[in-house]
Structure formats: C-alpha cells, structure tokens
Amino acid sequence: MGKEEQFKTATQSAQSSGYKVVGTRPIRPDGIEKVTGRANFGSDYNLPGMLVGRIVRSPHAHARIVSVNTDKAMALKGVKAVVTSADFPEIGPKARGAGEAPISFRDLSRNVMAREKALYDGHAVAAVAATTTAIAEQAAGLVEIEYEVLPHVLDARESMKPDAPLLHDDMFTKGLDPKPETASNINQRFEFGIGDIAAGFAAADVIVEYDFTTQCVHQGYIEPHACVANTTEDGMSTVWASSQGQFMVRNYSATVCGMDISKVRVLPAEIGGGFGGKTTVYLEPVAIILSKKAGKPVKIVMNREDVFRATGPTSGGHAYAKIGAKKDGTITAGELTMEYEAGAFPGSPVQFGCMTGYAPYDIENVKTVGFDVVVNRPKVAAYRAPGAPVAAFAVESALDELAKKLVMDPIALREKNAATEGTQSAYGPKFQRIGYLETLHAAKNHPHYSAPLGPNQGRGVASGFWFNIGGESSAAMHINEDGTVEVVTANPDIGGSRASMAIMAAEVLGIDVSRVKPLIADTASSAYSMLTGGSRVTFAVGKAVCEAADDVIVQLRQRAAKVWDVDIDAVEWTDGAAINTKSDANDSLTLAAIANTAGKTGGPISGKANINATGAGPGFGTHICDIEVDPETGRTTVVRYTAIQDVGTAIHPSYVEGQLQGGAVQGIGWALNEEYIYDDKGCLQNGGFLDYRVPVASDLPMIDTVLVEVPNPGHRFGVRGVGEVPIVPPLAAVANAVAAAANVRMTDLPISPPKLLAAIDGSK
C-alpha cells in the first residue's frame, strides 16, 4: 500500500467503528475519592504502634565507608531499631530480576543500602526507627559514620577517561572485542545499525553534524516515595506502598531482604505520579528490616530533597548526530553516538536511545553506538520513554538544520523519509501498521502550522517514537448477584487506567460502564502482573480484561443454555444478554437475570485471563511548538503548542489527551528549565522544587492535541500505548522553535535564559 493510501484508511477511527463504550468519556471510577481527598496514597496509611523510619544518607559523592557505629543512636530513648548494610544479606552478582529491563539484585541491594562505598551524595548508609519523627531525626544524626572521601566524577565523557576515579573495580566494559583487561566506568557498549554509513555519507549531497549535551532530569512526581511495613513474628511482612507495581515491590523487597516471596504481601496505595520513577524500590526493604528488628510497624516517607538526591532521575549525557541526504531530501545515512550517565550503578537507557533515534525514518544506512557509563550520581530509573528523548533531541535537531540546508519544509523532509508499514527499522523489526506519516499529514494540515508568527517568535517541529510493550498480565472478573461486575487487575492506576479497564469490560460484555467496578488487588489477591510501565497497561492488561470477559461470556451462555435446555451453540451473547437462537420468540436473558439465578444454574460466575500479551503497536508523535524569545534577556515563552500522535484507538479520549499534554509539558521542562546542579564536591545544589524548576501553570499555554487513530492490529480495539511517546518530540520541537525565533542552534539543554542570551550575543 502506498503512503497516501495508508493515510486515507488510517482515519477509520473509533467514531466509525461502531463501539458503544470505547471512545466515550465516562467519569473515572476512582474520581470522587481523588477530588475529595479521600484516596489513600503512600503516606496516608497508619497502623497502631507505628514507628517512624529515617534514612541516614551520605554527604559525599564518593567515599569508602570505613566504619558505622550505631551505639549512640540505639541508646537514645524512643529508638527501636537501627540498621546498616550488615542487616541485609550479601547478594551475588548473578541474581537478576526479570521484567522490562532486567536488573542486578546485587546493585539494587547496594543502592538500597550502601555497603563498601557511598557512591553519590544522598546514598543510604543506615536507617533508624523511633517512636516519633523528632526522635528519629535526632537518632539519624547520632549514627556515627567514618568516611574516606574519594575523588568523584559526574560527567559521562569525563568518566570514560582512563584516569577517571573508578566507581567499581570489578566492572569491565561489555560489548567490546577483545574483552578489556582493565576495569573502567563504561559498563557496556551498544551498537545497532543497518547498511553501510560510509557509503551512505559518500552518496549524500548535504551533510549536517552536531554534538549535543543534556543534563540529568528528574521525573518530578509530586508524591515522595512512602511505605509502611509490618513484619510480624511469623516472618510475614505486609507492606503498603506507593509504586508502579505491587508485584515488583514484593519481588525486589523479598530478594533484597533474603525472604521467600510468599512471606511478603504488598498492598498497592494510590500512586501520586511515577513516570517510570517508581519502578524500583528504595524504602520498602529498609522498612521491612527495621520493622523486623523493632517488632513494630515502620513507616518511611522521603522528603523532597531525598527524592531529588537519591531516587531515579534519568540520564544526562552526550549525543553526536550526523545525517546525510540527497538534494531531493532522501536521507542516505544517519549516525548517532551517545554516552549516557547511568548514575552509580550500570543501567542507563542508552540502548533504547540507540534504537529509537532513527526509528521514525526509512534510511538505508544507519549506525548508532551507545555507552552506558557510571558516574557519582543517583542510579537512574526509568523516565517516560527512557532514553528516547535525548536521542530524538539530537536527531530531530539535526534534521531541522538539514531541512534548512536543503531549503525544504521540515515536515516535508520527514514525510519524504517516514517509516511506514513494511519499513525495515535499523534497530531490528520490520514495522507493521504504524501511523507516523498520518501524524505528519495532520501536523501539516493543522491550522497551527500555518498561523502567522509575531515578532521574536519561531516555530519548531519534531517527531518521536516509542516501542510500547505488552508482557505478563492478569485479570479476574466476578459477576455480582445483581449483574454488576467486579474487574480485578493488579496494576496501579497512574493516570486513569481503571476507567479504561471498565470501558473495555463494558464493551465486551455489552453492558453500561456504570455496572462495572474496577479494583486493583494486592499481591495475595491476584495473579502476577508486570508493573505499570512501558505504556503497557491499557494495551496488555486491557487485553487480559477483554479475555476475562470472553471467559465470563462463555459461562453466561452455558447458564442460559441450561435454563433453555439447548446446546450452548444455540445461545448468542448480544448487548449484555443471552439470546436463544432456537426459539421463535428470540428468548433472552440479561446478564442481571443470569446472575440472579446463578445459584440454580451452577454457582458463582467468575472469569479470568492470565496472559503474556504480545502485539504491542509502536507509537509515533509529531509536535509543533511556537516560542517567543526575549532577545534582551534570553527568556523563552512557549506561546502555542500542538501535540499530534497516533494513539491506535483512544479508549477514553480525555485521558489519552492528558497523556499527550502531560508528556509534552515534561518535555518542555526538560528543554527549557530542568537540570541537576552539583557543587565542586559532587553534592546536589538544587534538591527542591524552588531551584529544580518544573513548569508551572503560568509558564504554559493550552496544549492542543490531535489524536490520530491508526488501530493497532495486535489488539481487538486497536489500542496502542500512548503514555511515553509524547515526551520524545518536545526537546527538539522547543530547540527548533528557538532556532527559528533567535537564529541560534542550541545544542546544550536546558535552554536557560543565560545560556540562550550568551548564544544570541555570540551570534551577533
């Protein structure tokens, strides 16, 4: 199918699909609890006799822990337990977790509680539990820790130098041939590619190349990490925690504490934002061990400074991009080399950067190389499309300059090279039905793209890609006596997923969505489900919900067949009722009628589906951004913004729009304001919302959205993940708008006023 034909068929959207509930905007089932303050988040749980836990953190960026003396802290009246790494089992290097990105439990254990060395400012070294907050804080100050301060390193390229301070003397770079004989701070080298870039650049008429730098940024969820753990004499530990996955918390905590998984039960709290940052544990294992030692429940809540100093920012780093094209705009070669800061332990998302950078384009010759580099910063955690925004910043900024050199419209350049169905991606798979081209057409035709600009204003365009994932997912469905339905899943609702689960269940069952009650179960009450991440929940858990509904429908037909004394094949399920196709009168029994008499036809009705969902559809987005630059001060103002994305099918369009808007704004913050600032000792200087400035309401215009619906063939309703794509384009969309407004190419994020002013002055 040609590109234009694909576009024509693409807009067969949910509106014309005949769905009754999918695509509508009901009020979310958990909404009232959240607008009245009733919803319980991580720090809202309290138990009788509960103690307050506090973490003692390293004030040094890199230091050997010579000794830890807890005697004085323990002696303080009201202190019930003090723990150090000696209270946690030593974990071998081979213990690795499954999941989206396999993690080393040895590293996780050492991140939860430093063992030989403190590897960043804020690294946990000890913890106390006491009867009051004041006593816990006093006790934390009484833990005596002797440090031997070591030289530190914060920047990826600095850390790669042979004379850089070494974080781990047993780390030998993987992905090199031959295997290196000396340890270094480079954990791994990744390479992806296709064709021959030397030949590709030789065939190019025009080549652009730029070197980009970005800073470490934080997910910035408003709810600090929090948990309560109650370890009892039977060796059981019950944990209430705010996280992106109760099963993740259970597995990680049990492993770090050396417990059987069955000894830990995790009850999911409402989660006050995560964006990938709550896909690991920091506090839970500590609370479990403190509670075990004290014999009482222990609550630990981070303060905001702890969150910035010690939890998952995403990588800053460097990216070099070089792109060559023919005069007609055909890209002949793309190169990308990136060094990402992983923080204190290996595991930056650089490989995802390598894979995503050129994914929107059909290019014959591509080479991407990435280095995962440890530095004395907090260990990075996932952040919305991990690794992709920095890669896209480099590639999409370079493309903007390429378009200028070719005297070509930047959307036209992208249209000419856009990946479509059947395109062989440089990172591996051949794309199935995707909607990138449709987002470009929608951008070109959007009134925003042709609207006049004011003085000192410029317009930028950029695109982005994310894989989206499926994974292990579970759902159970219980039919109540009156025919209302409980839908039980085990994935924290981070942005409206209960509503999506209810909508899909109602659509399959053929009933009103108000008859469906979604519930998020704890680890003892549900089959395993992978955590909420990878834009997987509406797709994968939704698939499980649909299949659980299928299971229920078979049972409902069986019950009706029994009532009518006919074969099940004679019973159809239509609009929430069983229809007897063998009767002239078209006898029907509603879900409520069957439920009401379930006792007489075989007992309770309940369905389930436990699946490993495949068929996740990749997502593409294109954003248009208008920026006004004050040439006197370098201040930037986003004056108009439009986010366009192929969302597959929008199950609840309002929450899909919300994903686009929120992701775009996080990207705007990344581009313009946000960065970790360290002093010369490697200590974080801006660990608070006053100095780490996330966008506020007065910084922004309304964020317009266009939902392009190219259904994903891998899901019965066409769902694609939507949450991560929208943070990928904004960095370059903003930088390209600044370039248009001020005629300077900013290659170093954030584009803060002093930096931009210096660039404007330098260009005069």
Partner 1 sequence: MSKHHVTATINGDPVEYLCTTEQTLLDVLRDDLQLTGSKEGCASGDCGACSVTIDGRLVCACLVLGVEAGGCEIGTIEGVADGDSLHPLQQQFLQEAALQCGICTPGFIVAAKSLLERNPNPTETEMRYWLAGNLCRCTGYDKIITAVSNAAAELRGE
Q: Tokens for 544, please give them.
A: 């499980």
Closest separation in Å from C-beta 655 to partner 1 = 6
Question: How large is the angle between the packed helices 246-257 and 105-112, nearest 10 degrees?
Answer: 80
The residue from 255, 666, 673, 747 that contacts partner 1 (CB under 8 A) is 666
Tell which one of 3, 17, 31, 593 touches partner 1 (CB under 8 A).
Answer: 31
Q: Which of 23, 193, 272, 297 binds partner 1 (CB under 8 A)?
A: 272
Of 9-17, 28-36, 55-63, 349-357: span binding partner 1 (CB under 8 A): 28-36
What is d(CA 274, CA 255) in angstroms, rounded to the nearest whole number? 22
Q: From the CB of 660, what's the least distance to partner 1, in Å? A: 8
CB of 630 to partner 1, least distance (A): 18
Per-residue binding letters, 223-262, with partner 1 (x by CB under 8 A) = xx--------------------------------------
Question: Residue 272 CB, nearest distance to partner 1 (Å)?
Answer: 3
- Cα–Cα distance measured from residue 122 to residue 225, given in angstroms and rounded to the nearest whole number: 15
Binding pattern for the stretch 283-322 against partner 1, x by CB under 8 A and - elsewhere: ------------------x-xx------------------
Is residue 495 part of the contact set for partner 1 (CB under 8 A)?
A: yes
In 89-108, which positions are buried (b, 16+ CB within 10 angstroms) versus exposed (e)? eebeeeeebebbbebbbbbb
Take residue 22 and report the two structure tokens written for it: 């999918």
15 burial (CB, 10 Å; 0-12 / 13-18 / 19+) is: exposed
Establish if 222 lies at the interface with partner 1 (CB under 8 A).
yes
**Ranges within 41-70 binding partner 1 (CB under 8 A):** 41, 43-44, 46
Amino acid at 386: P
Q: How far is the CB of 625 from partner 1 (least distance, A)?
A: 13
Minimum Å gap between C-beta 583 and partner 1 is: 43
* CA-to-CA separations, 470 to 321, 532, 647, 655, in angstroms, rounded: 31, 11, 15, 20
Please tell me whether the peptide bond between 178 and the residue prior to it is cis, using omega within 30 degrees of 0.
yes
Per-residue binding letters, 181-220, with partner 1 (x by CB under 8 A): --------------------------------------xx
Cβ atoms of 104 and 95 within 8 Å: the answer is yes
Instruction: Pick the piece of the chain touching partner 1 (CB under 8 A) from 68-76, 150-158, 317-325, 493-501.
Output: 493-501
User: Is residue 537 near partner 1 by the rule CB under 8 A?
Assistant: no
Instruction: Decide: is 32 part of the binding site for partner 1 (CB under 8 A).
Output: yes
User: How far apart are CB 16 and partner 1 at their closest, in Å?
Assistant: 23
CA distances from 726 to 291, 536, 640, 667, 705 (A): 41, 15, 16, 8, 10
- Residue 514 lies near partner 1 (rule: CB under 8 A): no
Single out the segment in contact with partner 1 by CB under 8 A; choices: 53-61, 595-603, 686-694, 708-716. Answer: 686-694
> CA–CA separation, 107 vs 84, rounded Å?
16
- By CB under 8 A, name the one of 661, 673, 712, 747 that touches partner 1: 661
Name the residue among 354, 334, 333, 325 with its Cα closest to residue 412: 325
Q: Is 496 in the site for partner 1 (CB under 8 A)?
A: yes
DSSP state of 664: H
List, in order, residues 6 or more apart from 460 with CB less than 8 Å away.
Answer: 400, 624, 625, 626, 627, 732, 733, 734, 735, 736, 737, 738, 739, 740
Among 3, 11, 20, 39, binds partner 1 (CB under 8 A): 39
Q: How many whole angstroms separate alpha carbon 641 and alpha carbon 274? A: 24
**Interface segment toward partner 1; rule CB under 8 A; list 570-578, 587-595, 656-664, 706-714:** 656-664
| Selected range binding partner 1 among 192-200, 407-415, 427-435, 685-693, rule: CB under 8 A | 685-693
Kindly tell me which residue out of 65, 375, 544, 703 binds partner 1, with binding defined by CB under 8 A: 703
Gap between the Cα atoms of 508 and 515, Å rounded: 13
Site size for partner 1 (CB under 8 A): 60
Strand 144-149, strand 117-118: pairing: unpaired
Q: In the chain, what's the furthest Cα-to-Cα distance?
A: 88
State the binding string over 95-134 for partner 1 (x if CB under 8 A, else -).
--------------------------------------xx
Q: How far is the CB of 39 from partner 1 (least distance, A)?
A: 6
Q: Which residues, 434 to 463, sit near partner 1 by CB under 8 A?
A: none
Q: How many helices (H) and strands (E) does the chain have?
A: 22, 28
What are the helix (H) ranges across 175-296? 197-202, 246-257, 284-294
Give residue for tokens 């303080």.
76
Name the site residues for partner 1 (rule: CB under 8 A).
Answer: 25, 27-28, 30-32, 34-41, 43-44, 46, 133-134, 219-224, 270-275, 301, 303-304, 494-496, 652, 654-655, 657-658, 661-666, 688-690, 694-700, 702-703
